[in-house]
Structure 1
Amino acid sequence: MVLRRGPLVVGQVDFQVCQVCRCGYLRKISVDGAAKGYGIGTRTVLKLYRRYPGLTWYTTTQYDTAGTFWQKIARRTDGAFTENHDGACEHMKINRRG
């Protein structure tokens, strides 16, 4: 998913969803430096959460600041957004890009 601020592309989100297992995996959210701090990443995750209701979401905390970001998202959604989805969905393991 491409992220925009007006007409400008300012980032992207790499995610997978499995409706069979009712889980989603947010692999990576990238927002360009100048666009950070405007809530673009937060709004994008909330949009995905609404688009795919009832899923259990997983993610990874690759960067030091990612942990606080996911804690904030978890509070706003009542979702766990826990790390390490390995074993959560066999379908995503099969379809995951290398």
Structure 2
Amino acid sequence: MPTAAGQRKTNELFLADRNGIMIGRLRFSVCRDCGTGRVIDVWVPDEWQRQGLGRELVHAVFLRFPGLQWNTTAQPLPGRLFFKTMSEETSAPLQPGHPLCPHVAERFTRAWRRAVKPVA
């Protein structure tokens, strides 16, 4: 969803239990111009893990945005194992990095430059 010329914002998809308490979240960016999507992260509380909730979130975002080339950000070992399994299940190459569209890359580059800007 565009926020400015060429930029795309981070979106979130949530899962809640019967009481409305959040039990899962997937953060992602989509660039329809380039036909790419990027899964930033998937979060499920420890007590809810290994019940298919992260899997459900990934499938839900893929269904909502069909036909995109998906990738992910660099992940710690549990995340890498999760995304490897999801890649095999969905045939989407959920690897860190490419294909990353220049619109999303530019936003991350600017944020990184602001974060490491030398103090005068």
TM range (shorter): 0.7 to 0.9
> TM (normalized to structure 2)?
0.71
Q: Deviations over 1:3-27 (max 9, x none)?
A: 2233321132211001110100011
Per-residue deviation, 1:43 = 0.6
Aligned to 1:39: 52
**Structure 2 SS opposite 1:79:** coil
Residue 87 of structure 2, aligned match among 74, 78, 84: 74
Residue 105 of structure 2, aligned match among 73, 88, 93: 93
**Structure 1 SS opposite 2:92:** coil
**Structure 2 SS opposite 1:28:** strand
Report which of the two structures shows the higher radius of gyration computed on alpha carbons.
2
Per-residue deviation, 1:61 = 4.0
Aligned to 2:29: 16
Q: Which amino acid aligns with 2:85?
A: K
**Quick check: 76-85 or 60-69, which moved more?**
60-69
- Cα distance between partner residues in 2 of 1:43 and 1:12: 10
- Cα distance between partner residues in 1 of 2:87 and 2:75: 17
Per-residue deviation, 1:93 = 2.8
- Cα distance between partner residues in 2 of 1:92 and 1:60: 12
Aligned to 1:55: 68
Unmatched 5+ residue regions in structure 1?
none
May I ask how many residue pairs the two structures share in their alignment? Answer: 97
Instruction: Give the root-mean-square deviation of aligned CA atoms.
Output: 1.9
> TM (normalized to structure 1)?
0.85
**Structure 1 SS opposite 2:51:** coil
Aligned to 2:43: 30
- Cα distance between partner residues in 2 of 1:19 and 1:84: 17
- Cα distance between partner residues in 1 of 2:73 and 2:65: 19
Q: Which amino acid aligns with 1:4?
A: A
**Structure 2 SS opposite 1:45:** helix
Per-residue deviation, 1:44 = 0.5
